């Protein structure tokens, strides 16, 4: 059997050499400084990088396992949650038998934070963190790949150009996910489709379910295989999306036919997502899928019903949809949402404002369509 070395997360024996590589990566040091001091440049930034390198080497000196590294990351998560959210809440987790590994499939709004919040809530419920599926398109720099794989991410190879290579990569990914769940006993997180739902429409790509089932033996019924995966739909709701302006501008550019993705653009999105204000954030964990499903399309439709149906609508969603009166909202929340959109309208084109409002309104509109 493959050891999955090209895609699996790093193991404990790889932690020390990986941390040493990271500490000696000037670009990473400058990126970390940029998060904290975005206006700093020149010799001051270089001088601070020298100090940061020494501090990180001291801070990380005793870390020699993935678990210890994640405990270190937790302190930064705590700070991020305290400073960029007004509330982080969850529901539904107590209905799951977490003694069994699960495949958490969620909607996808933020590159890094969607799985990070799932892991954080599981950890604070006494569970191991999830292994995270991450596309190789995000790993444009070696230090990003190192950081992600240290943090229990496994790689989804999306850069193949031929159908043969794409199928080979999909089979390897399917086999790895099945291996991680059934043999390693690990929880897994994967998004319901490739890429973020920039328009706020959280629909599952049935091809994801087809990929998962590539590992199914011909003698095993499809519904039995799906039950074995313990698929849990997760609805992740953000009151404010720190990347909403960038997403709206991208959607407008795509409509006009002149959008060109910039180099390392996803890394900037990760930075914005982490540092930007998110307001209230809520995660709902639906019961594991245990029905009699006979096709990938049926599973995808059930995921949509659960994810969209249990999405916690925020004041920004109701106001953008023009339906705040029917939601029994606090008037202060309505006023806050209205002022938020007015501020956005002062800096965006009319076309981008239209896209931004649709992005926030679609969770309301699609909940009507699903139910």
Does the pLDDT value for residue 103 go beyond 80? yes
pLDDT at 215: 86
Please give the average per-residue pLDDT across 100-122, as a whole number: 97
CB atoms within 10 A of CB 208: 20
Q: Give the pLDDT of residue 295.
A: 96
pLDDT at residue 160 greater than cutoff 90: no
Do 53 and 23 contact (CB within 8 A), yes or no? Answer: yes
**In the predicted model, is pLDDT for residue 1 greater than 60?**
no
Average per-residue pLDDT for the chain: 93
pLDDT in tens, 340-353: 999 999 999 999 99
State the pLDDT at residue 59: 94
If you average pLDDT over residues 165-170, what whole number do you get? 95
Q: Which two tokens stand for residue 12?
A: 């404990």
- Tokens 């709902």 locate to 284
Quick one: which of 286, 336, 275 has its CA closest to 310?
286
CA–CA separation, 31 and 49 (whole Å): 10
What is the per-residue pLDDT across 34-89, written as a single tens digit (0 to 9) for each?
Answer: 777 777 888 888 899 999 999 999 999 999 999 999 999 999 999 999 999 999 99
Please state the rounded mean pLDDT for residues 201-210. Answer: 97
Q: Which of 129, 120, 122, 118 is nearest to 94 (CA)?
A: 122
Q: In 19-58, which positions are buried (b, 16+ CB within 10 angstroms) versus exposed (e)?
A: beebbebeebbbeebeeeeeeeeeeebeebbeebbeebee
Query: How far is the C-alpha of 92 from the C-alpha of 104, rounded, in Å?
Result: 13
Give the pLDDT band of residue 273 (cuts 50, 70, 90). Answer: very high
User: Model confidence over 127-141: pLDDT tens digits?
Assistant: 999 999 999 988 888
Burial string for 83-95 (b: 16+ CB within 10 Å, else e) reads ebbeebebebbee
* pLDDT at residue 139, rounded to an integer: 85
Q: How confident is the model at residue 371 (pLDDT cuts 50, 70, 90)?
A: low
Instruction: For the sheet with 85-91, list strands across it.
Output: 85-91, 279-285, 231-238, 103-106, 188-191, 131-135, 153-156
> pLDDT tens digits, residue range 232-271?
999 999 999 999 999 999 999 999 888 777 777 888 898 8
**pLDDT (0 to 100) of residue 45:** 86
Structural domains in the chain? 12-239+261-303 (3.40.1130)
């Amino acid at each position: 059997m493959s050891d999955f070395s090209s895609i699996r997360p790093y193991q404990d024996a790889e932690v020390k050499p990986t941390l040493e590589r990271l500490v000696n990566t000037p670009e990473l040091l400058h990126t970390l400084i940029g998060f904290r001091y975005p206006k700093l440049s020149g010799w001051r930034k270089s001088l601070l990088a020298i100090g940061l390198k020494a501090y990180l080497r001291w801070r990380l000196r005793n870390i020699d396992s993935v678990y210890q590294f994640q405990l270190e990351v937790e302190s930064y998560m705590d700070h991020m949650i305290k400073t960029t959210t007004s509330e982080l809440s969850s529901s539904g987790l107590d209905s799951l038998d977490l003694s069994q590994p699960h495949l958490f499939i969620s909607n996808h709004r933020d590159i890094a934070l969607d799985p990070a919040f799932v892991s954080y809530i599981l950890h604070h419920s006494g569970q191991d963190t999830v292994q995270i599926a991450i596309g190789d398109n995000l790993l444009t720099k070696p230090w990003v790949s190192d950081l992600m794989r240290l943090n229990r991410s496994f790689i989804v190879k999306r850069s193949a150009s031929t159908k043969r290579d794409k199928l080979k990569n999909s089979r390897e990914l399917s086999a790895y996910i099945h291996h991680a769940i059934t043999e390693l006993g690990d929880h897994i997180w994967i998004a319901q489709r490739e890429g973020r739902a920039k328009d706020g429409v959280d629909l599952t790509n049935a091809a994801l379910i087809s990929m998962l089932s590539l590992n199914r033996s011909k003698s095993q019924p499809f519904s039995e295989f799906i039950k074995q995966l313990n698929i849990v739909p997760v609805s992740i709701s953000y009151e404010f999306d720190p990347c909403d302006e960038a997403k709206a501008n991208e959607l407008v550019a795509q409509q006009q036919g002149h959008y060109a993705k910039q180099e390392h653009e996803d890394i900037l999105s990760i930075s914005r997502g982490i540092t930007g204000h998110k307001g209230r954030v809520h995660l709902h964990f639906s019961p594991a899928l245990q029905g009699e499903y006979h096709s990938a399309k049926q599973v995808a439709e059930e995921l949509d019903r659960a994810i969209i149906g249990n999405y916690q609508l925020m004041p920004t969603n109701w106001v953008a949809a023009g339906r705040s009166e029917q939601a029994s909202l606090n008037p202060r929340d309505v006023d806050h949402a209205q002022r938020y959109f007015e501020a956005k309208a002062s800096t965006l084109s009319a076309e981008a404002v239209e896209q931004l409002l649709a992005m926030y309104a679609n969770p309301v509109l699609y909940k009507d369509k699903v139910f």
